[in-house]
Amino acid sequence: MFAFCTDPDTLPQWQWFACYLTSGTHLAFYWSFVVVMILLALAAPAALVMGLGGALLMRARFAPLRWLGQGYTAIVRGVPDIVFFLFVPIAVGQGIEALLHQVRCPHWDMPIWQGNDFIVCPEARVPPRGSPSWVRDLYGFSLAVLAFAVVFGAFVGNTLHGAMRAVPRAQMETAEAYGMTRGQAMRRVLLPQMWIYALPGLSNIWMILIKATPLLFLLGIQDIVYWARELGGAKTSRYTYPHPDWRVWYFLAVLVFYLAVTWASQIFFERLTRRVGRGLATAESARA
């Protein structure tokens, strides 16, 4: 990074650290923080959409749709997150490959499952064989976003479902008395008002989502935790910057990062609650 970094062994301490902290692996470490923020930025809206869908399904009049919504939230809420995070990417990944296998290789005469190995024809590999590593990373990352959306969508769905029921029934009756259809009453009266009831639950889920991002590590993505462990481990003089076991400092940095993000989120949600509560007789808006 810096011109004086050519021979780190001879450097005074501050320069050694300047070089060390800007080494290629450290830049990758810093980039992984960005990746986590991107994941949050994508997973949160996706979970919100899944959740809204789930909540509307749970309110549906048509019983099978209602069962679908209830089944989705019940299954995801009842299964440990980690199991789901390991299950969704593998299941979706293999599902896509098995589907492509049927389409592209109709003449393949070996079974897809050979003992423990899942083997499809080379044309059905996703991402395709020989694709550069960033394509693989992107694919893995997309599966991770999907897993987060599915899991957190179920929690969001339950929260939104509860929030919809918290909107006073009398308001919906009034809307119907004014001649609004069910859909109109839903859009004009129910949905705008439910957010104030949903916000405390949603902010909780957002906090849990932030804290769940290290699960990326489980999916083989080189995230913050991966790099903290990798960089912190003792390095012998085979490396340019040998050092003893510094994992405690790296994990401390990760801890501070998460604390900062959740702290900022908390302030944001406090303000949002005040804003959404305007004109409503809630404890929050009374204080504001």
Partner 1 sequence: MKTPLTLAIGALAFAASGALADTVRMGSEGAYPPYNFINDDNELDGFERDLGDELCERAGLDCEWVINDWDTIIPNLVGGDYDTIMAGMAITEARAETISFTQEYLPPDPSAFMALEGMNYDTLMESGVIAAQSNTVQAGVLAEMDGVELLEFPTPDETISAVRNQEVDAVLADKAFLADYVAESGGELVFVGDDQYFSDGVGMGVRQSDDELRETFDAVITEMKEDGSLNELITEWFGEDMDTF
**Which parts of this chain interact with partner 1 (CB under 8 A)?**
20, 23-25, 27-28, 109, 116-119, 122, 125, 129-130, 133, 136, 220, 230, 233-234, 236-242, 245, 247
Minimum distance, C-beta of residue 80 to partner 1, in the bound complex (Å): 20
Minimum distance, C-beta of residue 106 to partner 1, in the bound complex (Å): 14
Entry field: residues in the chain: 288
The residue (of 110 and 288) whose beta carbon lies closer to partner 1 is 110
Minimum distance, C-beta of residue 246 to partner 1, in the bound complex (Å): 11
The residue (of 14 and 62) whose beta carbon lies closer to partner 1 is 14
The residue (of 10 and 116) whose beta carbon lies closer to partner 1 is 116
CB 209 within 8 A of CB 47: yes
The residue (of 136 and 211) whose beta carbon lies closer to partner 1 is 136
CB 63 within 8 A of CB 169: no
Nearest CA to 202 among 164, 145, 155?
A: 155
Minimum distance, C-beta of residue 275 to partner 1, in the bound complex (Å): 44
| Token pair of 23 as six digits | 């080494």
CB 65 within 8 A of CB 171: no
The residue (of 50 and 120) whose beta carbon lies closer to partner 1 is 120
Q: Give 7's strand partners.
A: none
The residue (of 56 and 119) whose beta carbon lies closer to partner 1 is 119
Minimum distance, C-beta of residue 33 to partner 1, in the bound complex (Å): 16
What separation, in Å, do the N-terminal and C-terminal C-alpha atoms of the chain show?
50
Minimum distance, C-beta of residue 233 to partner 1, in the bound complex (Å): 4
